[in-house]
Amino acid sequence: MQALAEAAGKFVFFIGLIVLNIAAILTWVERKQSAVMQDRIGANRATIFGIRMLGMFHMLADMLKLFTKEFFIPMGARRFVYLLAPMISLLFALVGFAAIPFGDTLILGGREIPLQIANVNIGILYIFAVLGMAVYGVVLGAWASNNNYALLGGLRASAQMLSYEVAIGVSLVGVIMVYQTVDLMEIARAQGQLLWGWLPQWGILLQPLGFLIFMTAGIAETKRIPFDAPEGESEIVGYFIEYSGMGFGMYFLTDFLETILIASLTVTFFLGGFQVPYLYADGFHFPWGQAILLPNIAVAALQFLSFLIKLIVLLFIMMAIRWTLPRFRYDQIMHLGWKILLPASLINILITAVVLTIIG
Amino acid sequence: MNVHDKYKPLSWWDKTYIPLVIDGLAVTLRHFFRNIRLHILNVIGIKTKERGAVTYQYPEEMRPLWPRTRTLHRLMRREDGSPRCVACMMCETACPARCIYIVAEERPEVQIEKQPKIFNIDLGKCVFCGYCVEACPEDAIRMDTGIIDIASYTRNGMLLTKEQLLNIEPKVENYVSRPDLMEGQPIY
């Protein structure tokens, strides 16, 4: 019972309070960041009693609009599947966060609480399963719409997502080899150890090629520009063309949630997860011998803050990439996925294996 | 960049897209940080030479009009307050959109024979070419009011009569007074 309450508390805190809020703010950040990058002002017309807050209320206005719009089911659509598909999409974008560690152990009232919603010891496989299921929401929605354009968009999406899942999977084998575990918590903890006594053992330092491949394939997995051939909102219509109202809203939210999921996975695997350099369970221990001891709650707060900051910086970079690069042609997407990323990740495994064998 | 460079095949390093992605990100991020710095300075209240955005927030903020910009018409008056127009029909003849409608009447004074009884401009038809201003021998019609927000819910609302045209309040402040001081400001 207590374990259930603990899990529920962590769920409400991490997914309800952090992830969903970041997803909502991302819709605002996307507009404002792109505006500033393109010498514009950006959305600033929505006000409440004359308070403008840099256009922050556009999030509320958008949500209100999506909720009050008619949810239209086109003629000939498979009603049940049509209603189910956006929910599947949203569900599998959300459950992925369960395995992500956002802090080390928090001791609260004598109980040791690992700051991770579900302590699955096959974390990486679970993540693969969740990412693999994401394609179902897209394909089912496209097929159930009874629209040829939606179906073609769904086909593009499934081909792209399946191709890049291969690269994601193979690029993470290097991480598994280095840290000798598939438990995300253990991977995050292992990145707190030091290399040669001073360098934090972060994934980006041990697996730079793996980091690049994972980031690229991850952005492709979110189906956003430059890999937005499945959606192509303005020109080539995509898999959710028939969706309106909150059905579209769910697909829209899924996009942002997947961006956050990929960013937080990148943080966990390659940017040290929740680790702050030289911060251990009882405080800072610097390599030059100095030590600052901290209570457990301060350490947990620092670790969570470090996770959040890394996540936000990575999201900023992903948004900048989204607003900088033009869309890839579809054959270029396939070429990049199968002929560049997959061989590169295989080479990455080979190099990792050779280095690990030499070091022992 | 040499024109012929684009025919050179990409090198192995370029084919990975990495240098090009970094180039592109450098451009957009340079704009981002430059603009965000200017925005923050403006919010604090420090005036900067440049603006953070090249766009204008239109209803609150007018884009300065160039001195030659043709805006809403007005009819000029003589010193005694009567219209300068002598109803010569030159503007009506010159108008390519045929938006001007004039009915002449006799004028009590002997030196000037005619004056307009009706002088209508249908702004729904007007193309703002300025030919009427050029055709006018009496300098009776001008397009220098600085008013550009011309809109109405009805077609009749777009029809301006002689009295309305004579009594338009010009907004000269919308115009740039010294174009030479505008150097460096966006004019597009």
pLDDT digits 0-9 by tens, B38-67 = 989 988 888 777 788 888 888 888 888 888
B173 backbone dihedrals φ, ψ, rounded to 5°: -65, -15
Q: CB under 8 Å to A11, separation ≥6 — which residues?
A: A98, A117
Residues of chain A with pLDDT below 70 are: 360
Give me the pLDDT at residue B50, please: 79
Residue A186's H or E segment, with its range, is helix A184-190
Cβ pair A41:B57 closer than 8 A: yes
The tokens describing B24, both together, are 């592109």
Residue A85 belongs to a domain: yes
Residue B119's Cβ-count burial label (10 Å; 0-12, 13-18, 19+) is buried
More confident residue, B187 or A42: A42
**Do A81 and A143 form a contact (C-beta atoms < 8 A)?**
yes
Cβ contacts (< 8 Å) between A35 and chain B: which residues? 53
- Return the DSSP state at B72: S
Residue A59 belongs to a domain: no
Residue A36 belongs to a domain: no
Which three-class secondary structure string do you get for B79-124?
A: CCCCECCCCCCHHHHHCCCCCEEEEEEECCCCCCCEEEEEEEEECC
Give me the pLDDT at residue A42, please: 87
Q: Which of B21, B24, B53 sits opposite A41 (nearest CB)?
A: B53
Cβ pair A39:B31 closer than 8 A: yes
What is the average pLDDT score of chain A? 89
B21 touches chain A (CB under 8 A): yes
Cβ pair A40:B55 closer than 8 A: yes
CA distance A234 to chain B (A): 22
CA dist B177 to B73, B146, B173, Å?
19, 12, 8
Give me the pLDDT at residue B188, please: 39
**Other Cβ atoms closer than 10 A to A119:** 15
Residue A71's Cβ-count burial label (10 Å; 0-12, 13-18, 19+) is middle
A107 backbone dihedrals φ, ψ, rounded to 5°: -100, 115
Range of the domain at A82: 74-359
Count of the separate structural domains present in chain A: 1
Give me the pLDDT at residue B180, please: 55
Tally C-beta pairs within 8 A across A and B: 46
**Do B168 and B56 form a contact (C-beta atoms < 8 A)?**
no
Q: How far apart are CA A318 and CA A324, in angstroms?
A: 10
Q: What is the pLDDT of residues B137-172, one digit of tens each?
A: 989 999 988 898 899 999 999 999 999 999 998 888
Residues of A (18-47) whose Cβ lies below 8 Å from B: 33, 35-41, 44
Q: Which of A33, A41, A320 sits opposite B55 (nearest CB)?
A: A41
CA distance A132 to chain B (A): 26
Give me the pLDDT at residue B186, please: 46
Q: What is the pLDDT of residues A53-108, one digit of tens each?
A: 888 898 889 889 999 999 899 998 999 999 999 999 999 999 999 999 988 888 88
Residue A158 belongs to a domain: yes
Confidence of residue B187 (pLDDT cuts 50, 70, 90): very low
A92 backbone dihedrals φ, ψ, rounded to 5°: -75, -20
Residue A35 belongs to a domain: no
Residue A288 belongs to a domain: yes
Give me the pLDDT at residue B128, please: 94
CA distance A37 to chain B (A): 4
Cβ contacts (< 8 Å) between B50 and chain A: which residues? none
Residue A112 belongs to a domain: yes
Strand partners, B74: B142
Q: What is the residue type of A105?
A: T
Give me the pLDDT at residue B68, please: 82
Give me the pLDDT at residue B179, please: 56
In this structure, the strands spanning B114-122 and B159-160 are antiparallel
A55 backbone dihedrals φ, ψ, rounded to 5°: 80, 15
Residue A41 belongs to a domain: no
The tokens describing B40, both together, are 């923050």
Q: Which of B17, B18, B32 sits opposite A37 (nearest CB)?
A: B32
User: Of A270, A272, A292, which is closest to residue A283 (Cα–Cα)?
Assistant: A292
Residues of A (293-352) whose Cβ lies below 8 Å from B: 320-321, 323-325, 336, 340
Residue with tokens 């004579």: B166
Cβ pair A39:B36 closer than 8 A: no
Q: Which of A36, A38, A212 sits opposite B36 (nearest CB)?
A: A36
CA distance B165 to chain A (A): 34
